[in-house]
Structure 1
């Protein structure tokens, strides 16, 4: 089968297609014919931290048809349309652990299905499981035009919350307003506290999602209401540290938490997947949530897809494969 390996050469990510054996599923795995796969910024950031010219397998989420099911993979069987987190997704075939697999809702295209798993698991974790976002509460999203940012906006509106989003692009903010953004702030700098407080009547936001990184961490803390929560889910700015106001943390009873599945075992990942199936996929199935796709590229154009993501021009998810 064909698979794609990435190398960092002269500070540019190069893709090398290669022929490799088709993997064999274990007893709790599904062999899936990949129809489309989502591209995620985190894997590109990780690649750029590696030694130059070291070959790397990319792709951490995919959608396709089950070709072969292991002995212990109920309720999935050959022919089922599935999506989920996996490894080496930019290939003809990929293995999905059964606890990471989800049935594709009726009506979703392959591209929409491939755009769903990672974003859905992240927003379920940070808005519902940990963030406890409720109807009529305020959410702040920094870097709101990213794939996770758009998914957070959409889920928050489905939950009945109000949303403030930041972006450096007026065009992206206008597009996000059409998706339900209540207040758009054009900035990439830590200068949005006053505007957030004005929008929320001086209260502050109940939950903040920091996708931008350490450069705006302290500003996000300043924007939190009493008993507010702050989710750290990314660092697009590359800044891994931020000042923490301990007096504010103490007096306003704030909660600060991280959103990552890196330390999760199979049972913890299964619980997140089940939460997505219970709380988010029904919203997708009935049309209240629709995966926002920036652009779909063919597998042969994977380098162009990566260039699109690193240009920071995207609005929503970038997908590789069938539309």
Structure 2
């Protein structure tokens, strides 16, 4: 089957096509014919931390048809349309652990389905499971034009929340108004406290999502309402530390939490997948939540897809496949 290896060469990510045997599913796995796969910034950042020239396998989410199911793979069977987190998704076939697989809503194309798994699991964990975002609350998202930021905006609006977003691109903020962005703040700096307070009538945000990183961490804390929650989901700025105002944390009963699947065991991953299936996918199935797609590239243009993501020009999800 066709697969791809990635290497960092002269500070550029190069893709090498290769032929490899079709894998066989384990007892709790699904062999899936990949129709489309999502590209994620986190995997590119991880590759750039490896020694130059070291081979890596990219692709952590896919959508496709089940070809063969393991003996203990649950309700899925050959022919089912599924999507989920996996490994080596930029290939003709991939293995999905059955507890990571979700049925594709009927109305979705393969491209739309491939855009959902990682983003929906992150925003479910961030906004619902840990964030407890309620209808009528204000959500603040720094770096809202990122893939996760756009997904957070869409889910928050479907839940009835109001959303403030920061971005270094005025054009992207204007485009996000069509998805329901209530207040767009054109900035990359930690200078948005006053604007957030003005928008929220002095109350602050019930939930803040920090995608930017340590450079705006303290400002996010300043923007929280009483009993506000702050989610850390990324550090696009590369700054891994931030000042925490303990007096504010104490007096305003704040909660600070991280959003990551790295330390999650199988049961925690199952819980998140169940939550997405029960609380997010129904919004997709009835059309209230439509994946925002930036651009689609064929598998043969994976390098171009990576260049698009690293240019920071995208708005929404970059997907590979659909051929």
Number of equivalent positions: 323
Question: What does 1:277-316 align with in structure 2 at a 5 Å threshold?
Answer: 277-316=277-316
Paired residue secondary structure (1:280): helix
Q: Is 1:38–2:38 an aligned residue pair?
A: yes
Post-superposition CA distance 1:73-105 (Å, at most 9, x none): 121000000000000000010000000000000
Post-superposition CA distance 1:287-322 (Å, at most 9, x none): 000000100000000000000000001101100000
CA distance in 1, matches of 2:184, 2:131: 21
The equivalent of 1:196 in structure 2 is 196
TM-score (norm 2): 0.99
CA distance in 1, matches of 2:263, 2:112: 27
CA distance in 1, matches of 2:21, 2:239: 40
Question: For structure 2, which runs of at least 5 residues remain unmatched after alignment?
Answer: none
Question: For structure 1, which runs of at least 5 residues remain unmatched after alignment?
Answer: none
The equivalent of 1:59 in structure 2 is 59
Q: Is 1:222–2:222 an aligned residue pair?
A: yes
Question: What does 1:124-163 align with in structure 2 at a 5 Å threshold?
Answer: 124-163=124-163
The equivalent of 1:181 in structure 2 is 181
CA distance in 2, matches of 1:221, 1:310: 29
The equivalent of 1:239 in structure 2 is 239
CA distance in 2, matches of 1:130, 1:215: 23
CA distance in 2, matches of 1:121, 1:266: 14
CA distance in 2, matches of 1:215, 1:303: 30
The CA deviation at 1:171 is 0.9
CA distance in 2, matches of 1:147, 1:35: 20
CA distance in 2, matches of 1:297, 1:191: 37
CA distance in 2, matches of 1:238, 1:34: 33
The CA deviation at 1:199 is 0.3
Post-superposition CA distance 1:143-177 (Å, at most 9, x none): 11111101100110111100000111111001111
Where does structure 1 differ by over 2 angstroms across 4 or more consecutive aligned residues?
none
CA distance in 1, matches of 2:309, 2:299: 15
CA distance in 1, matches of 2:44, 2:240: 16
CA distance in 2, matches of 1:168, 1:235: 15
Q: Aligned Cα RMSD in Å?
A: 0.6
